[in-house]
């Protein structure tokens, strides 16, 4: 392979700020006091934080050194499957930072919020057009929040008909939070298995669908990166028994602008603006999980809703069948601004996002399928799933290989998910990676597999180059530090 981007270098240790500094140091010149000095330790509680005294260079170096420990999409390829960790165009950051948006306060009166209300109103319309649905609420604050909203809408729909349904169908290729979202709304998840092709069979759904079942939660494309090709027939089965079809749209990056989700039988869909529509993702940052519905579910959307009357925009709670308010204000507006700018900047080219995402995933799959075990050897969409089956004889696991991948300068892909594939390695390259970057990633993985055959202990001991070696993840999971 060509020279790897992974290397060793000067990575500085850095203590906590509380462990740095010396009394009397200061990073700014303070004006002369005209009030009496009042130390924090003399506060009403008798205690106060002991802030470190630091110079400006100490503060700058502290955060600069910490930044060198980070890996993000601005550093390199972030191939997490089912997460769509793609590059975020910086022009959208500029739009979100415009003073009229960045300086707006959620308690401003409607008359002073016309710009941001118009943006959110038009974003709802754009998302409805892209998905083929009829109405949208951008209030949910994240993907799981969108799932919960979808389940609440389905619950409210059945309640409006005087029905109390107790079950929801959840396939084994759905996202992991789906059963929890259903359970929070009082539904018992009914697990169904995918077939040998990695998708749902209509017969399997028909066997469990009854009048006590509120509907089905389908991830499409599913977590194997495969399109649920029987979705229309499955939707007909569910609808015939009075149920509804919820679609987890976290993988919408594969079908954006190409598949009319509303045309294939879906009643309610959530989106991830922080995935598909290219806004900052990961590290605990803000997200947005808009919910899109067909016309018969529009009355149940959360309030307040943005309405337009006589050319002016306002927030209205006058929707008696609504599931109510879901957020303290109206969602994470900064994420919406970036998504709005993303859609407008691409326009009709939005379809090419999905085309290139699918092309990149199939390129990775084609080049690695002779290196790693490919459990479903068929055309995939946005991601491809391998396993460590070929490396079992060397006693090298999925975890070992992706840890060794770090030595070559690449962030590990998603591992051990979906659960339907033992030792899963899920790779989603997204549309923003060029062929040269993909080739470097592929060649690094091929080199790791070669090492697994020739020197398995080398791979089992990885990583060697990062600042920290392999951590005791079992201990960390069982003894979390929750007070830091």
Closest CA to 222 of 410, 81, 364: 81
Mean pLDDT in residue range 350-377? 97
Beta strand residue intervals within 302-378, DSSP E: 305-309, 312-316
Residue 438 has a pLDDT of 97
Which pLDDT tens digit goes with each residue over 365-410?
999 999 999 999 999 999 999 999 999 999 999 999 999 999 999 9
- CA distance linking residue 428 with residue 417, whole number of Å: 13
Which pLDDT tens digit goes with each residue over 79-94?
999 889 999 899 999 9
pLDDT level of residue 417 (50, 70, 90 thresholds): very high
Sign of the CA dihedral with 116 first, then 121, 124, and 125 last: negative
Supply 381's token pair: 């969409």
pLDDT level of residue 484 (50, 70, 90 thresholds): low
Residue 41 has a pLDDT of 58
Residue 47 has a pLDDT of 61
Cis ω for the linkage preceding 186 (within 30 of 0): no
Length of the chain: 484
Long-range contacts of 455-458 (CB under 8 A, 24+ apart): 456/394, 456/395, 456/396, 458/404
pLDDT level of residue 45 (50, 70, 90 thresholds): low
Which pLDDT tens digit goes with each residue over 242-295?
999 999 999 999 999 999 999 999 999 999 999 999 887 766 678 899 999 999
Mean pLDDT in residue range 139-163? 96
Residue 31 has a pLDDT of 85
When the pLDDT of each residue in the chain is averaged and rounded to a whole number, the result is 93
Supply the CATH classification number for the domain 91-348: 3.40.640.10
- Is the model's pLDDT at 44 over the cut of 70? no
- Write the class of the CATH domain 352-470: alpha beta
Mean pLDDT in residue range 199-212? 98
- Is the model's pLDDT at 40 over the cut of 80? no
Residue 46 has a pLDDT of 55
Between 426 and 469, the higher pLDDT residue: 426
**pTM score of the predicted model:** 0.91
Chain center to CA of 434: 22
- Is the model's pLDDT at 43 over the cut of 80? no
Secondary structure letter of residue 408 according to DSSP: T
Mean pLDDT in residue range 305-312? 96
Domain with CATH 3.40.640.10 in the chain: 91-348
Residue 176 has a pLDDT of 84
Domain with CATH 3.90.1150.10 in the chain: 352-470
pLDDT level of residue 3 (50, 70, 90 thresholds): confident
Mean pLDDT in residue range 3-29? 87
């Amino acid at each position: 392979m060509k020279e790897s981007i992974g290397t060793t270098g000067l990575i500085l240790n850095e203590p906590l700020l509380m462990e740095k500094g010396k009394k009397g140091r200061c990073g700014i010149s303070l004006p002369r006091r005209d009030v009496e000095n009042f130390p924090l330790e003399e506060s009403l509680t008798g205690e106060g934080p002991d802030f470190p005294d630091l110079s400006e260079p100490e503060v700058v170096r502290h955060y600069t050194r910490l930044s060198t420990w980070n890996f993000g999409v601005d550093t390199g390829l972030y191939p997490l499957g089912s997460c769509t960790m793609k590059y975020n165009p910086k022009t959208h950051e500029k739009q979100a930072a415009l003073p009229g948006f960045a300086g707006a306060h959620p308690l401003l009166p409607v008359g002073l919020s016309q710009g941001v209300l118009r943006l959110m109103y038009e974003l709802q319309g754009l998302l409805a057009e892209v998905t083929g649905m009829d109405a949208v609420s951008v209030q949910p604050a994240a993907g799981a929040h969108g799932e919960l909203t979808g389940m609440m809408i389905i619950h409210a729909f059945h309640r409006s008909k005087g029905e109390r349904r107790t079950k929801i169908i959840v396939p084994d290729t759905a996202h992991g939070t789906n059963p929890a979202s259903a359970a929070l709304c009082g539904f018992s998840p009914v697990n169904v298995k995918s077939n040998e092709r990695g998708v749902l069979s209509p017969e399997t759904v028909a066997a469990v669908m009854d009048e006590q079942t509120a509907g089905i939660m389908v991830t499409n494309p599913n977590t194997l990166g495969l399109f649920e090709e029987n979705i229309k027939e499955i939707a007909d089965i569910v609808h015939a028994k009075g149920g509804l079809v919820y679609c987890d749209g976290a993988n919408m990056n594969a079908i954006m602008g190409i598949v009319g989700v509303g045309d294939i039988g879906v009643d309610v869909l959530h989106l991830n603006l922080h995935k598909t529509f290219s806004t900052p993702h990961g590290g605990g940052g803000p997200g947005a999980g808009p919910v899109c519905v067909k016309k018969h579910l529009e009355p149940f959307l959360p309030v307040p809703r943005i309405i337009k009357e006589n050319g002016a925009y306002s927030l209205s709670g006058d929707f008696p069948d609504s599931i109510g308010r879901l957020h303290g204000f109206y969602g994470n507006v900064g994420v919406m601004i970036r998504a709005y700018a993303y859609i407008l900047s691409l326009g009709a080219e939005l379809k090419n996002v999905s085309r290139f995402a699918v092309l990149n995933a199939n390129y990775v799959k084609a080049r690695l399928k002779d290196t790693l075990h490919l459990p479903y050897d068929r055309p995939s969409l946005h991601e491809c799933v391998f396993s460590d089956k070929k490396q079992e004889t060397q006693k090298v696991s999925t975890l070992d290989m992706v840890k060794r991948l770090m030595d070559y300068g690449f962030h590990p892909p998603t591992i051990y998910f979906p659960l339907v594939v033992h030792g899963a390695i899920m790779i989603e390259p997204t549309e923003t990676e060029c062929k040269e970057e993909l080739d470097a990633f592929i060649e690094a993985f091929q080199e790791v597999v070669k090492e697994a055959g020739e020197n398995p202990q080398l791979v089992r001991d990885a990583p060697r180059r990062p600042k920290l070696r392999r951590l005791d993840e079992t201990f960390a999971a069982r003894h979390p530090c929750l007070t830091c």
